[in-house]
Amino acid sequence: MTNPELKEALMAKARIAVDAYRPIGQIDRRMYGVLVEHMGRCVYTGIFEPDHPTADEHGLRQDVMGLVRELGITVARYPGGNFVSNYRWEDGIGPVAERPTRRELAWHSTEPNSFGLDEFMEWCRQAEVEPMMAINLGTRGEEDAVNILDYTNGELGTQYSDMRRDNGHAEPYNVRMWCLGNEMDGPWQVGHKNAEDYAYLAGSTARAMKMMDQDLELVACGSSAWEMPTFGDWERTILDLNYDEVDYISMHRYVDPDVQDRASFLAAGYDMDRFIDGVIATADAVGAKKRSDKKIKISVDEWNVWRLAEWNSMEHGFATDDWPFAPKRIEDVYTGADALALGGMLISLLRHADRVKAACIAQLVNVIAPIMTEKGGRAWRQTTFYPFSIGSRIARGTAYDAVVETARTSTERYGEVDQLDAVVTWDKETGTGSLLALNRSLTEPVDLSAALASLGVSRVVKAQILAPEDLDAVNTADNPDAVAPVPHAVELSDGVLTTTLPPASWLAVELA
Ligand code: AHR
């Protein structure tokens, strides 16, 4: 054998084949959501900064708005996060000068309430995204849930709907999706509850809300993390009591690069698969016991990469007496490796498109976010911006399981995992699709061959790859493009796409 032949023979291989008659499921448009929380600088000096040179008459930063549109988000969950569990939504409506300033317990800061529900709805209108509201089941309950629902969606003629009109918004906002609290399984949550107490409160709140509007889509809190000691029992208890009342169970997943070897970190999609499969198994076990035909949907309404050291230090309370306004909190600066892990998590979400019907990257700006800003200054894209923005643009329609054969790669945490992870999507309406693939190996390239003929693929529109030379490289205000996707060579012949992925790379091919 000559040298090139030997190299070719030794190269790791992966084979993808798609059967158009065996889809996973329809990708819900809510797959590309975000969390907008009153936390740190996500709202204040993030999306909202009245004094910023680009702010419009509503105080909304238009430089950020441009990046938000480019990110391609479809739904935004608001106002938290942990924040919501001590929030009085009425504080954030009406004349700004009359709104109260309060101590905010979840993040130990001062909340001026100059941004509230109506400002958020204006932001959603401009960003062309669907609002997803979370209600406070930490310190409040059924009555306030019904009041905010009436303020948000009610036809005029009641105290709260008329209040909305008096605040300048006669038309109901018609918000469909509502989260029944946030992370109520977490001892850090204001008003944290055990599973039984939360199950009763969520159920009675859901019933009251559906008495107002039976077509609402309600999300019960699932587990804040796979590691929660209550995971499994929590979901079972909540769904056992509320299977008919709720439509979704939530799950939150953050992966921390600093507590694992890099190979395991790049397998973050494997970790996500495991968690989602566990939630599906638990929900379906309850459904089977009830002999129900209904399938509970999953809302992964917080997911991301997050270096948790700062949070862990906060867990013991904030040992300070000050209550800052819009302080810098968990402003993680993302690396090239972080973008790859996030791309892998996105592949996992799409692979579960039959059950994951909503997902929100958390959060949107500054706070563990794809977009960063300076107060009064610039805005830029973090490395993690790219897998999300590319996915949201090209991975639509129907998802197909893809990998039939691949070399394996070693990780400390999970042992051997597939070296190549991938998902294929195809949108019949537009005749376009995508192949998203991650090479999880830190050292080995992989030769990929993908049989896509059954979808009718005849053309590659664009192929781009994230393959950071330096996995620790980051994007900053001064060097905003250090990590960005670049064009990649792929061949398509008779419906078979071939290419080579370098080690540690995330490929996105747009097909037609
Ligand atoms: O996104 C940051 C925080 O993470 C959210 O407020 C909370 O829901 C989760 O613990």
- Predicted confidence (pLDDT) per residue in 454-467, tens digit: 999 999 999 999 99
Q: Is the dihedral of CA 440, 445, 451, 457 positive or negative?
A: positive
Per-residue pLDDT tens over the stretch 148-185: 999 999 999 999 999 999 999 999 999 999 999 999 99
Residues with Cβ within 8 Å of residue 337, at least 6 apart in sequence = 257, 262, 265, 266, 468, 471, 472, 504
Q: What would the pLDDT profile of 286-304 be if each residue is shown by its tens digit?
A: 999 999 999 999 999 999 9
Q: 293 C-alpha to center of ligand 1: Å?
A: 33
pLDDT at residue 315, as a whole number: 58
Q: How many CB atoms lie within 10 A of CB 369?
A: 27
pLDDT class for 336, splitting at 50, 70, 90?
very high
Ligand 1, residue 80: give the atom nearest the CA: 6
Residue nearest to ligand 1 atom 7, measured at CA: 81
Interval 219-255: pLDDT, tens: 999 999 999 999 999 999 999 999 999 999 999 999 9
Structural domains present in the chain: 4-21+400-511 (2.60.40.1180), 28-394 (3.20.20.80)
Query: Is pLDDT of 319 > 60?
Result: no
302 assigned to active site: yes
Q: Cα 66 to the chain's mean position, in Å?
A: 19
Contact (CB, 8 A) for 87 and 79: yes
Cβ neighbours around 486 below 10 Å, total: 8
183 classed as catalytic: yes
pLDDT bucket at 6, cuts 50 / 70 / 90 = low
What is the pLDDT averaged over residues 313-340? 85
Which residue out of 119, 183, 217, 510 is catalytically annotated? 183
Ligand 1: centre distance to CA 23 (Å): 33
Identify the band that residue 360 occupies on the pLDDT scale cut at 50, 70 and 90. very high
- In the predicted structure, residue 11 carries a pLDDT above the cut 90: no
Residue in 132, 252, 307, 315 to alter for ligand 1 test, most ligand atoms within 8 A of Cβ:
252
Distance 187 CA to ligand 1 centre (A): 13
Pocket test for ligand 1, best of 183, 192, 308 (most atoms within 8 A of CB): 183
pLDDT at 314: 72
pLDDT at residue 90 tops 70: yes
Ligand 1 site residues (CB inside 6 A) read 35, 37, 39, 80-82, 182-183, 224, 302, 362-363
Per-residue model confidence as pLDDT tens digits over 375-409: 999 999 999 999 999 999 999 999 998 888 999 99
What pLDDT band is residue 318 in, cutting at 50, 70 and 90? Answer: low
Q: What is the chain's mean pLDDT, rounded?
A: 96
Contact criterion met (CB below 8 Å) for 369 and 334: no
- The number of residues making up the chain comes to 512
Residue nearest atom 5 of ligand 1, based on CA coordinates: 81
Residue 341's identity, in one-letter code, is A
CA–centroid distance, residue 388 to ligand 1 (Å): 19
- Count of CB atoms situated within 10 Å of the CB of 141: 17
Indicate the residue type of 419: Q
Contact 29, 74 (CB under 8 A): yes
Please tell me which residue in 122, 217, 235, 302 is annotated as part of the active site: 302
Ligand 1 centroid–CA 289 distance in Å is 32
Q: Cβ neighbours of residue 359 under 8 Å, at least 6 residues apart? A: 30, 31, 32, 33, 299, 300, 301, 303, 349
End-to-end, the C-alpha distance of the chain in Å comes to 39
Which ligand 1 atom is at minimum distance from the Cα of 188?
10
- pLDDT tens digits, 469-512: 999 999 999 999 999 999 999 999 999 999 999 999 999 999 99
The average pLDDT across 405-424 equals 97
Instruction: For residue 369, give the nearest of 82, 67, 120, 122 by alpha carbon.
Output: 67
Among 302, 304, 363, 368, which residue has the most ligand 1 atoms within 8 Å of its CB, making it the best to mutate?
302
Does pLDDT of 2 surpass 70? no
pLDDT > 70: percent of the chain = 97
Between 185 and 3, the higher pLDDT residue: 185
pLDDT score at 322: 84
**Residue 396: both structure tokens together:** 């639509």
Q: What's the CA-to-centroid distance between 33 and ligand 1, angstroms?
A: 15
Which residue lies with its CA nearest to atom 4 of ligand 1? 81
| Mean pLDDT (whole number) for 348-357 | 98
Residue 5: pLDDT over 70: no
More confident residue, 310 or 484: 484
Kindly report, residue by residue over 99-136, the tens digit of the pLDDT: 999 999 999 999 999 999 999 999 999 999 999 999 99
Output the CA 39–ligand 1 centroid distance in Å: 9
Task: Kindly state the average pLDDT of the residues 76-89.
Answer: 98
Q: Which atom of ligand 1 is nearest to the CA of 368?
A: 1
pLDDT at 502: 98
pLDDT at residue 429 is higher than 80: yes
pLDDT tier at 311 (50, 70, 90 boundaries)? Answer: confident
Rounded to two decimals, what is the model's pTM?
0.97
d(CA 114, CA 328): 18
| Ligand 1 atom closest to residue 224's alpha carbon, by position in its atom list | 10
